[in-house]
Amino acid sequence: MLRFDEGNRVIRSEEHTAILAGVDTGEDISYSMQELGSLAGAAGIRVDGMLVQNLDAAHPGTYLGKGKMTELAELCRNMDADLVIANDELTGTQLRNMEQALSVSVIDRTMLILDIFASRAMSREGKLQVEMAQLQYRLPRLSGLGKALSRLGGGIGTRGPGEKKLETDRRHIERRIRDITREMRRHRQHRGVRRARSDRSGLPIVALTGYTNSGKSSVMNRFLSMAERDDVQVEQKDLLFTTLDASRRLITLADRSRFLLIDTVGFVSKLPHTLVEAFHSTLEEVVDADLLLHVADASFPDVDFHIDVTRSVLTELGAGDKPMLLLFNKVDLAPDFSALAYGPHAYAVSAKTGQGFDALLPRIRDMLWSDRVETDVLIPYDRGDLVSYLCAKMTPARIAHTETGTRMSVALSAEDRKRFSPYLAPKEPDVP
């Protein structure tokens, strides 16, 4: 039987045996079902069977049609399964009817994804965001959440809650949503202050984005190892949603220019809308970035599908038009892969072997600093803040301490050239 633990998870690590159920409305869902299996694996659930029905649309009452439901009940009994996972988001009615008909717990793809996120969230803000998404998912389904989600009704694993109970639960959830909204607002303000501070440092921001398990964290680690910063590597794992809380690292290129690299949460098809909404503030970092590195797994046969899913989530976040490079990662596993068909913004790379990064780096540099011009500035000694500002961005090509101030040779962006126009250094006299 499903239970909640303290972390608001639906599924506890106790062994579960699940049967996957899907509705095929025309497009091939074999990959989608396979991915559902991987999601179950990421939540620690064993999958022992699968049942797909071809239908024009999911049955409004029971998701699968009547005949298939009988088949599914039989399969559950034969496999001794205690859980059915539906490949699509279910309504409260569908959840309730299915549980009654099957006598096992029923969850859907959304609940499964929310559960994985709940178990992975580390930061306070991440936890709040996931809880918010869970509550918003639960609210319209209260009467259907009999077996799996009746914690708030008190009757874990018992019958669905009665009307009076439902009303109390609803009020309870609404109150909690209000509390979380308030706390998240405080976090957001806090982050706004932090961001304003990093904006002042003027470092360009590059964000990694893409389908889950495509290798975003590995690409970050490759950058770190090229910058000889292996000590601050991030976790990379063959598991969906390894990265949940964004991490930022400072990358210094060989020519001394610097940027902030941000590793973010991956996307998956049918990513719950409530979750995208809840993560909006975390993903602001993607929206604010100067450049996106969209990482895709070149060894995955239907990589275009992953690219499309990522693009549509980015568009939903308002980051669809950002400057972007498309990195086809894992080419060590797909030696015949060519990125040519994807246009001049596409690169074939391998985070594992380092292949392709030599061509990629100059391109990133061009995109971030194409407008830079090597400029000589002379900063008076009472403006140490300006010297720090420039040094945080890049190591100056030359630096000298003269009688009138610090003389530096730095590659300035158009914006910085304007800012530093009062400090242009007089031309050095030609040496005869």
Ligand X SMILES: Nc1nc2c(ncn2[C@@H]2O[C@H](COP(=O)(O)OP(=O)(O)OP(=O)(O)O)[C@@H](O)[C@H]2O)c(=O)[nH]1
Q: Residue numbers of the site for Mg ion (CB under 5 A)? A: 217, 242-243
Whole-number minimum distance, CB 39 to ligand X, in Å?
11
Residue nearest Mg ion, Cβ-based:
243
Which among Mg ion, ligand X, none contacts residue 94 (Cβ within 5 to 8 A by kind)?
A: none
Q: Draw the binding track, 265-304, toward ligand X (x: CB under 6 A; -: no contact).
A: -x--------------------------------------
Closest CA to 37 of 272, 258, 257, 240: 240
Asked if 118 interacts with ligand X (CB under 6 A), we say no
User: What is d(CA 123, CA 121) in angstroms, rounded to the nearest whole number?
Assistant: 6
Which among Mg ion, ligand X, none contacts residue 107 (Cβ within 5 to 8 A by kind)?
A: none
- Name residue, tokens 């439901």: 69
Q: Which is nearer to Mg ion, 153 or 215 (CB)?
A: 215
**Using the 8-state DSSP alphabet, how is residue 158 labeled?**
S
Total residues in contact with ligand X, by rule CB under 6 A: 23
Label residue 355 exposed, middle or buried (CB < 10 Å: 0-12, 13-18, 19+): middle
Is residue 4 classed as helix, strand or coil in its secondary structure? coil
Asked if 209 interacts with ligand X (CB under 6 A), we say no
Asked if 258 interacts with ligand X (CB under 6 A), we say no
Structure tokens at 295: 């990482």
Which residue in the set 32, 213, 274, 310 belongs to the binding site for ligand X (CB under 6 A)? Answer: 213
Helices (H), 105-252: 109-120, 124-138, 163-201, 216-226
Whole-number minimum distance, CB 73 to Mg ion, in Å?
39
User: What is d(CA 334, CA 123) in angstroms, rounded to the nearest whole number?
Assistant: 36
Asked if 214 interacts with ligand X (CB under 6 A), we say yes
- Name residue, tokens 């950002």: 322
Structure tokens at 239: 């598991």
> With contact defined as beta carbons under 8 Å apart, do 120 and 112 qualify?
no
> With contact defined as beta carbons under 8 Å apart, do 73 and 102 qualify?
yes
Whole-number minimum distance, CB 354 to ligand X, in Å?
9
Q: Which is nearer to Mg ion, 4 or 300 (CB)?
A: 300
Q: Which is nearer to ligand X, 241 or 259 (CB)?
A: 241
Q: At 20, which helix (H) or strand (E)?
A: strand 17-24
Which residue in the set 186, 189, 333, 371 belongs to the binding site for ligand X (CB under 6 A)? Answer: 333
Within a 10 A sphere around the Cβ of 102, how many other Cβ atoms?
A: 24
Whole-number minimum distance, CB 183 to ligand X, in Å?
26
Rounded to the nearest 5°, which phi and psi values hold at 251? Answer: -115, 125
Query: Which span sits near ligand X by CB under 6 A: 115-123, 325-333, 339-347, 356-364?
Result: 325-333
Whole-number minimum distance, CB 258 to ligand X, in Å?
23
Which among Mg ion, ligand X, none contacts residue 274 (Cβ within 5 to 8 A by kind)?
A: none
Query: Which span sits near ligand X by CB under 6 A: 75-83, 170-178, 328-336, 406-414?
Result: 328-336
Asked if 236 interacts with ligand X (CB under 6 A), we say yes
Q: Which is nearer to Mg ion, 204 or 215 (CB)?
A: 215
Which residue in the set 329, 377, 379, 425 belongs to the binding site for ligand X (CB under 6 A)? Answer: 329
> With contact defined as beta carbons under 8 Å apart, do 132 and 180 qualify?
yes
Q: Which is nearer to Mg ion, 136 or 221 (CB)?
A: 221
Q: Draw the binding track, 348-367, toward ligand X (x: CB under 6 A; -: no contact).
A: --xxx---------------
Residue nearest ligand X, Cβ-based:
266
> With contact defined as beta carbons under 8 Å apart, do 152 and 169 qualify?
yes
Within a 10 A sphere around the Cβ of 252, how many other Cβ atoms?
A: 15
**Using the 8-state DSSP alphabet, how is residue 84 labeled?**
E
The three-state (H, E, C) secondary structure of 292-314, written as one string? EEEEEECCCCCHHHHHHHHHHHH
Whole-number minimum distance, CB 263 to Mg ion, in Å?
6
Asked if 212 interacts with ligand X (CB under 6 A), we say yes
Asked if 332 interacts with ligand X (CB under 6 A), we say yes
User: What is d(CA 46, CA 34) in angstroms, rounded to the nearest whole number?
Assistant: 13
- Site for ligand X, rule CB under 6 A: 212-218, 236-243, 266, 329-330, 332-333, 350-352
